[in-house]
Amino acid sequence: MSVFKHVVAVVCLAGLAVSPALAAAPVEIPFWHSMPGTLGERLQELADRFNQSQQAYQVVLVYKGSSASAMKAALDAERSGNPPVIAQVLEAGTENMLGSVEDSNAKGKKARKIPTRPLYQVMAEAKQKFDTKALIPAIAGYYEDTKGHLLSFPFNSVTPVLYYNKDAFRKAGLDPEAPPKFWPAVQAAAQAILDSHATPCAFTTAWQTWIHVENLHARNNELFASQLNGFGGLKSDLVFNDQLEMRHIALLSAWHKGTLFNNYGPADEAEPWFYRGNCAMLTSTSASYPAIKAKAQFEVGVAELPYYEDYHYMGAPQNSIAGGSSLWVMAGKKPAEYKGAAQFIAFLAQPAVQAEWHQQTGYLPVTFAGYELSRKQGYYEKNPGAEVAVLQVSVSKGSPLARGIRLGNFAQIRGLIDGELETVWDDKKPTKQALDDAVKDGNELLRDFERANK
């Protein structure tokens, strides 16, 4: 070997020896989430798969407690200058994620900045192919601006449905393949169930405000708040204390007094009473389907959320609202971090990932492709109840009221309504006073948000 060749060989070997040490470490993408237990494990599996699919980025999951706690943590971290790259935030916090916060580094007392980066900008700058038309409109619409630009990525999306005990329906002489479509029909079914002693409890509900106030208005094509439920801008007013809501809550109150409706709490406390066979009907989130089906010792039926038949002339039924949470990209991060976030979200939007996430967790697929793949894989043939929720949010009649609700301090407003509904069930307030009080106190929270976000 010549001296020249020997030198070249040594240099090449030396380069090979040091190249691993010189290789750039992957850019970390902190992702703050609120998914405990099995859901957190499923999310970790997705993050691991993404991390193994490339070497440039490393998604790092950090559990931050409840969805409300995760939102607060992300906003607090943004104010202190060290937010995560991605934050999972409940849908009720959408307006808060768009609201302004004081910027201590800006000049002038009135200087403000937005705590998040719009997703459509992040994806465009990273040159990631991302067709928002591939998303189911009733789900994506909640997280879009007035021009149809996607602000955050809908992730664990849900919608309310009616679960019912088919065995109890048979015992009560009801057709198990013909669940009630209208609220008065729910009453008739509940009475038949009690008269036949099919179950000790006829009807119950979880998530009472989300289902029986917010989605009641969406399904029946009525305003929950002015300014198109807040999508028209700030200075919205709550208007849900209308004839529709008074009628519905008064009906539920009468059911409660007559033992047709049992109340177990404002959140998900009612679900065990259904899957243990105590209650024959339950309104709750579609995401509970896998767990309910696995735990119930009877045949579970799933139906669309009932509405009022006489509201056909008002455009009912419309899509129910898709709740849950979305993924926000926080402001103040480095370009490389934004590129990593864009690549990860593009990964989550893939049809195979959407279908898997939907089938494993019970959450809605947020893309048509994810739904179609699940259908082709035979998932709905084996689990017919899982398709009901997808169909309920997929048939759009074009009403802007079925898009959702975007209000500041919305999570707190929900808490107010929950408290007032409890006073109705406990017979401490009449329906009208409870709803009027909820609107009055809720509007004060809206004014507080406006003052903080001029």
For residue 2, being part of any structural domain is answered with: no
Residue 5 has pLDDT above 50, yes or no: no
Mean pLDDT of 317-341: 95
Task: Provide the token pair at 347.
Answer: 């990964």
State the pairing for strand pair 27-33/57-63: parallel
Cβ atoms of 236 and 407 within 8 Å: the answer is yes
Average pLDDT value for the chain: 91
| Domain boundary pick from 385, 417, 436 | 385
- Tell me if 49 is assigned to some domain: yes
**Looking at residue 11, what DSSP letter applies?**
H
Give the pLDDT of residue 453: 82
**Phi-psi category of 230—alpha, beta or left, where left has phi over 0 and alpha has psi -120 to 50?**
left
Looking at the structure, tell me whether residues 42 and 112 fall in a common domain.
yes
Question: Cα–Cα distance between 153 and 117 in angstroms, integer?
Answer: 12
**Same structural domain for residues 188 and 104?**
no
| 294 and 235 belong to one structural domain | yes
| Chain segment 367-406, per-residue pLDDT in tens | 999 999 999 999 999 998 999 999 999 876 668 888 899 9
Phi, psi of 174, rounded to the nearest 5 degrees: -100, 150
Query: Are 178 and 258 part of one and the same domain?
Result: yes
Residue 251 belongs to a domain with what CATH number?
A: 3.40.190.10
Is 218 inside a domain boundary? yes
Number of structural domains found in the chain: 2
Evaluate whether 201 touches 275 at the Cβ level (below 8 Å): no
Say whether both 68 and 169 belong to one domain.
no
- DSSP-based three-state secondary structure for 438: helix
Please indicate, yes or no, whether residues 313 and 434 belong to a single structural domain of this protein: yes
In a domain, 181, yes or no: yes
The answer to whether residues 304 and 281 belong to one domain is: yes
DSSP, res 149: -
Q: By residue range, what is the domain housing residue 106?
A: 11-158+322-385
- pTM equals 0.91
> pLDDT tens across 105-161, in order?
334 444 456 899 999 999 999 999 888 889 999 899 999 988 889 999 999 999 999
